[in-house]
Structure 1
Amino acid sequence: MTINDILNNIHPLPESSANKLKKYITEVSYPKNFCLMEAHKIVPYIYFIKRGIVRAYATTEDKDITFWFGKEGETIVSMKSYVEDKPGYENIELLEDCELYKLETENLRKLFNEDIHIANWGRKFAERELVKTEELIISRQFKPALERYKDLMRDKADLIKRVQLGHIASYLGISQVSLSRIRAEIK
């Protein structure tokens, strides 16, 4: 996915504003299993996924809990770092070799002050992240695992083929055995 597609999917920018923003974006590649972001550290970057799949997870005493998957076209951001310049709570692990676009948050903040179109783009970006978080919370609180799995199949069917079932079970808040039962029930 191109950076133009990703940026415009968040919110369309005039060409001159998009060009200003793209001057600060670089392409990077990292291997599968690379930890892109670590909990309890400030992350001064935003990433956009050109190719690959990632997961966000938090660690408890005895296990990792996956709470988000990202794929091509999506944004990887620690909102706590982005908004408050404070350490985030999530770890981001690459589940495939990934090609990413990288943007330093400080450069983005400078552009917010220089270009109203980029400032509006940043507002739309934050609003979209908030809505995604709200949808995730509502899904976890009010939908049973079967319905959450069906939502995952509907919204991100390719993840089922590309992500380990253990991560999917963790994301759904169930055991792998329960996930196997759900998958058998759907077939």
Structure 2
Amino acid sequence: MDIDAIIDNVYVLPEKSRERLKANISEITYPRGHLLFKVNKISSRIYFIKTGIVRAYAETPDNEITFWFGKEGDTVISMKSYVYDQKGYENIELLEPCELYQTDAEDLRKLFNEDIHIANWGRKFAEQELVKVEERLIFRQCRTAMERYKELISTDPALLQRVQLGHIASYLGMTQVSLSRIRSELK
């Protein structure tokens, strides 16, 4: 997905403001398996996915818990680092080779102070990210395992083709054995 489409998905900017924002964005490529963010590190970068897929996960003593997938057009950000300049609690792993757009949080904050249109873009961005977190919370807490799987199939069936089942099971809050059982029940 190109950067203009990603920007417009947040908030359509006047051309001059769009160009100012884009002047602070560069492209970068990383291989599959690269850790974009690491737990207990402050991340000053914000990424937008041009191509590829990533996952966010937290580590427990027993395993890794995947709580988010990002794909083309999505933003990759450690909100705790961005908002509070504190160490993040998540790891972000690239599940495919990724082409990313990147910007620095401090550069973005400077633009917010200089351009009201970019500041409004940032406000819309924060609002959209908050709604996404709320939707994920409701998805995980208010549905049965079967309902979570059926919703994933209906909203993002391509994810099942691009991500290993162990990560899908973790994201859905179940074991891989339970996911296999649900999948066989639906066939």
**TM-score normalised by the shorter chain: which range applies?**
over 0.9
Q: Deviations over 1:94-115 (max 9, x none)?
A: 0000000001000000000000
Task: Spell out the pairing of 1:73-84 with structure 2 (5 A cutoff).
Answer: 73-84=73-84
**1:185 Cα offset (Å):** 1.7
1:113 maps to 2:113: yes
Counterpart in 1 of 2:37?
Answer: 37
2:130 counterpart of 1:130:
yes
Looking at structure 1, the residues matched to 42 and 178 of structure 2 have their Cα atoms a distance apart, in angstroms, of: 36
CA distance in 2, matches of 1:115, 1:186: 52
What is the distance in 2 between the residues matched to 1:45 and 1:155? Answer: 29
Match of 1:89 in 2: 89
Report the Cα offset of residue 152 of structure 1.
1.2
- What amino acid sits opposite 1:89 in the alignment? Y
**Within 2, Cα distance between the matches of 1:125 and 1:153?**
26
- TM-score, length basis structure 2: 0.98
Per-residue CA distance 1:110-158 (angstroms, 9 max, x = gap):
0000000000000010111111111111111110111111111122111
Residue in structure 2 matched with residue 171 of structure 1 by the alignment:
171
Q: How many corresponding residue pairs?
A: 187
For structure 1, list consecutive stretches of 5 or more residues without a partner in the other structure.
none
Give the share of equivalent positions with the same residue, in percent.
Answer: 64
Corresponding residue number in structure 1 for 2:159: 159
Deviations 1:7-46 (A, max 9, x none): 1001111111110000010000000000000011110010
1:151 and 1:118 mapped to 2: Cα distance? 34
Structure 2 residues not aligned, in runs of 5+:
none
Distance in 2 between residues matched to 1:22 and 1:32, nearest whole Å: 26
Paired amino acid for 1:15: E
Which SS does the other structure have where 2:158 is aligned?
helix
TM score, norm. by length of structure 1: 0.98
**One-letter amino acid of the structure 1 residue matched with residue 159 of structure 2:** L
CA RMSD, Structure 1 to Structure 2 (Å) = 0.7
CA deviation profile, 1:77-98 (whole Å, cap 9, x unmatched)? 0000111111110000000000
1:61-80 matched pairs, under 5 angstroms? 61-80=61-80
The equivalent residue for 2:144 is 144
Structure 1 runs (4+) greater than 6 angstroms displaced: none
